[in-house]
């Protein structure tokens, strides 16, 4: 007899059913991208408004990204305990609230506080969104669906760049940039109320009747053949284990589950996302340093994120053909090479922008697959928190990198050597992935670890 998980993962894909979850989850991810990429545009504007030093400007991104790191851990853990649906909505509401308060900040210190708190809210979106979408997606298309989720990132980044570019001539431009994304975020919060809870979560939580309602509804809506199935529950969680204790308990569990898998997830997230966040956060400032005016610097940074849309679409087709590990192992180091080429040709405007565009394409081959891969490595009871901790570690490291990059790496090593060092670290991370983690293509979500001793070494024909 099949389990509830097998029934859900063997269903046909329907845009009116699983596609609705994909779109709603993806829109939340779009706002995450918008907010992260906004840091790059806020850095020079807020810096000029408050008269900040280079180090203080770096804190604009650091405060937001550290908040996201906290949010990823807290909300990933909450989602594994209270359910995907509730966490799904609360995260976005908190983000909208603190974005509004940040827009009316009277001074630099208050601004940093509200950017941190907005990050705490939005930082929970990615682990919650990916866990929910993964658990509704049929196994045969899960890789494509999770990779396609990242299409929302360059869309959010492009919308952010376009709005920042057009608002840049206005007085109080940075305040308007924060306010403009709040209205659609609130609309999405309202829409999210109508999504069902993950049936895999309900089954693991021992809520058999609720799980059967959702599974039976999915079977009926997709037109699949009705079959008998079992609903297996995990051991019930002990009462009174919330907050920090719960988060630390989940941290212990994800390392106990499989130290190699968790180490791979962490080093991939830390290295790949650090390279990307450095480019996003400092690119407008780098271009302004080379003599571009604010409008041109913002427009060319937007070009980088816009081309990423094509990269995500390409990754969707590659992820099920080549496999997660091959796409990630090739594209992540190559993206760093593109940044080195960009830095070497900064004196040649056209060549530099070409390399910047190629970087935007290649890095978005890697990131969608990274997110899909890590979300598949953990079982249902650890999926959101496992992803959340990995995402959190990347936000912690990436959060301090804008500060370190602006005050130490760029001034001391120079732009080219800094990008070479970051690329070497990415290469080491994908080498560790090659030997320490399994391929997840085509595997049942809660049986991925069974293939850890037999990783798929070649792309499918």
Average pLDDT over residues 281-287: 83
Average pLDDT over residues 245-251: 74
- Furthest CA-CA distance within the chain: 67
pLDDT of residue 260: 92
Q: At residue 455, does pLDDT exceed 50?
A: no
pLDDT of residue 461: 33
Average pLDDT over residues 384-392: 79
Q: At residue 456, does pLDDT exceed 50?
A: no
Backbone angles phi, psi at 2, to 5 degrees: -75, 155
Q: At residue 110, does pLDDT exceed 90?
A: yes
pLDDT of residue 88: 67
Instruction: Quote the CA–CA distance of 43 and 13 in Å, as a whole number.
Output: 42
pLDDT of residue 222: 92
The fraction of the chain above a pLDDT of 90, given in percent, is 22
pLDDT of residue 207: 84
pLDDT of residue 91: 79
Are 33 and 304 a contacting pair, CB within 8 Å?
no
Find, among 25, 17, 19, the residue nearest to 129 by Cα. Answer: 25
Residue 116 Cα distances to 47, 272, 404, angstroms:
17, 22, 18
User: Which of the four pLDDT bands, split at 50, 70 and 90, describes residue 247?
Assistant: low
Kind of pairing, strands 229-230 and 2-3? parallel
Instruction: Quote the CA–CA distance of 29 and 32 in Å, as a whole number.
Output: 5
pLDDT of residue 130: 73
Q: At residue 321, does pLDDT exceed 50?
A: yes
Instruction: Quote the CA–CA distance of 29 and 266 in Å, as a whole number.
Output: 20
pLDDT of residue 337: 95
Find, among 388, 390, 385, 396, the residue nearest to 437 by Cα. Answer: 390
Question: Domain 2-235+243-451, CATH 3.40.50.12280 — does that match?
Answer: no
Q: At residue 35, does pLDDT exceed 60?
A: yes
Q: Name the residue with tokens 């989940």.
A: 250
Instruction: Quote the CA–CA distance of 446 and 458 in Å, as a whole number.
Output: 23
User: Which of the four pLDDT bands, split at 50, 70 and 90, describes residue 376?
Assistant: confident
Average pLDDT over residues 27-54: 85
Residue 291 Cα distances to 45, 173, 288, angstroms:
16, 21, 5
pLDDT of residue 144: 78
pLDDT of residue 234: 59
220 vs 130: which has the higher pLDDT: 220
pLDDT of residue 444: 62
β-partners of residue 3 are 230
The DSSP output letter for 381 is G
Instruction: Quote the CA–CA distance of 128 and 195 in Å, as a whole number.
Output: 13
Q: At residue 16, does pLDDT exceed 80?
A: yes
**Residue 150: how many CB atoms within 10 A of its CB?**
29
Q: Mean pLDDT, the chain, as a whole number?
A: 82
Q: At residue 86, does pLDDT exceed 80?
A: no
What's the pLDDT tens digit per position in 163-190? 989 898 888 889 999 998 787 777 777 7
User: Which of the four pLDDT bands, split at 50, 70 and 90, describes residue 355?
Assistant: very high
pLDDT of residue 460: 39
Average pLDDT over residues 62-89: 76
383 vs 163: which has the higher pLDDT: 163
Of the listed ranges 204-208, 226-230, 431-435, 439-443, the one predicted with least confidence = 439-443
Q: At residue 82, does pLDDT exceed 80?
A: no
Are 275 and 336 a contacting pair, CB within 8 Å?
yes
User: Which of the four pLDDT bands, split at 50, 70 and 90, describes residue 113?
Assistant: very high
Please work out, in degrees rounded to the nearest 5, the angle formed at the alpha carbon of residue 173 by the alpha carbons of 67 and 356: 70
pLDDT of residue 401: 72
User: Which of the four pLDDT bands, split at 50, 70 and 90, describes residue 457?
Assistant: very low
Alpha helix (H) residue ranges in 4-136: 4-9, 18-50, 54-82, 84-103, 108-123, 125-136
432 vs 93: which has the higher pLDDT: 432
Average pLDDT over residues 92-120: 90
Its pTM stands at: 0.72
The fraction of the chain above a pLDDT of 70, given in percent, is 90
Q: Choose the most confident range, by mean pLDDT, from 48-57, 216-225, 292-301, 438-447.
A: 216-225
pLDDT of residue 458: 41
User: What does the domain layout of the chain look like in residue ranges?
Assistant: 2-235+243-451
Tell me the two tokens of residue 55. Answer: 């180090």
Please work out, in degrees rounded to the nearest 5, the angle formed at the alpha carbon of residue 116 by the alpha carbons of 406 and 76: 110
Tell me the two tokens of residue 412. Answer: 């001391």
Instruction: Quote the CA–CA distance of 44 and 183 in Å, as a whole number.
Output: 25
């Amino acid at each position: 007899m099949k389990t509830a998980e097998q029934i859900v993962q063997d269903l046909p894909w329907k845009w009116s059913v699983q596609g609705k979850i994909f779109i709603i989850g993806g829109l939340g991810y779009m706002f995450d991208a918008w907010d992260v990429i906004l840091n790059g545009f806020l850095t020079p504007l807020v810096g000029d408004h408050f008269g900040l030093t280079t180090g203080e400007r770096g804190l604009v991104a650091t405060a937001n990204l550290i908040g996201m790191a906290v949010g990823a851990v807290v909300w990933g853990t909450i989602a594994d305990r209270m359910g995907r649906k509730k966490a799904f909505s609360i995260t976005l509401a908190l983000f909208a609230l603190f974005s509004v308060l940040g827009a009316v900040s009277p001074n630099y210190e208050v601004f940093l506080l509200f950017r941190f708190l907005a990050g705490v809210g939005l930082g929970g979106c990615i682990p919650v969104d990916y866990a929910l979408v993964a658990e509704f997606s049929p196994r045969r298309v899960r890789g494509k669906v999770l990779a396609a989720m990242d299409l929302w990132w360059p869309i959010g980044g492009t919308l952010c760049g376009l709005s920042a570019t057009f608002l840049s001539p206005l007085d109080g431009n940075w305040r308007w940039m924060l306010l403009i994304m709040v209205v659609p975020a609130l609309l999405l919060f309202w829409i999210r109320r109508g999504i069902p809870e993950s049936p895999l979560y309900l089954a693991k939580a021992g809520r058999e009747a609720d799980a059967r309602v959702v599974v039976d509804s999915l079977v009926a809506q997709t037109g699949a053949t009705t079959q008998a199935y079992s609903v297996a529950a995990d051991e019930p969680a002990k009462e009174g284990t919330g907050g920090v204790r719960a988060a630390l308990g989940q941290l212990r569990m994800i390392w106990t589950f499989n130290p190699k898998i968790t180490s791979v997830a962490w080093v991939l997230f830390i290295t790949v996302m650090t390279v990307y966040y450095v480019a996003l956060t400092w690119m407008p400032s780098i271009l302004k340093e080379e003599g571009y005016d604010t409008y041109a610097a913002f427009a060319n940074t937007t070009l980088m994120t816009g081309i990423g849309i094509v990269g995500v679409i390409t990754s969707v087709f590659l992820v099920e053909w080549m496999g997660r590990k091959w796409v990630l192992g090739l594209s992540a180091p190559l993206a760093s090479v593109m940044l080195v080429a960009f830095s070497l040709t900064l004196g040649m405007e056209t060549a530099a922008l070409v390399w910047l565009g190629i970087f935007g394409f290649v890095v978005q081959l890697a990131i969608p697959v990274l997110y899909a891969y890590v979300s598949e490595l953990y079982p249902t009871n650890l999926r959101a928190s496992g992803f959340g901790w990995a995402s959190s570690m990347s936000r912690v490291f990436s959060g301090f990198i804008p500060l370190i990059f602006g005050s130490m790496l760029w001034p001391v090593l120079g732009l080219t050597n800094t990008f070479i060092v970051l690329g070497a670290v990415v290469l080491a991370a994908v080498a560790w992935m090659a030997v320490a983690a399994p391929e997840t293509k085509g595997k049942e979500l809660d049986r991925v670890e069974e293939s850890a001793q037999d990783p798929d070494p070649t792309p499918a024909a």
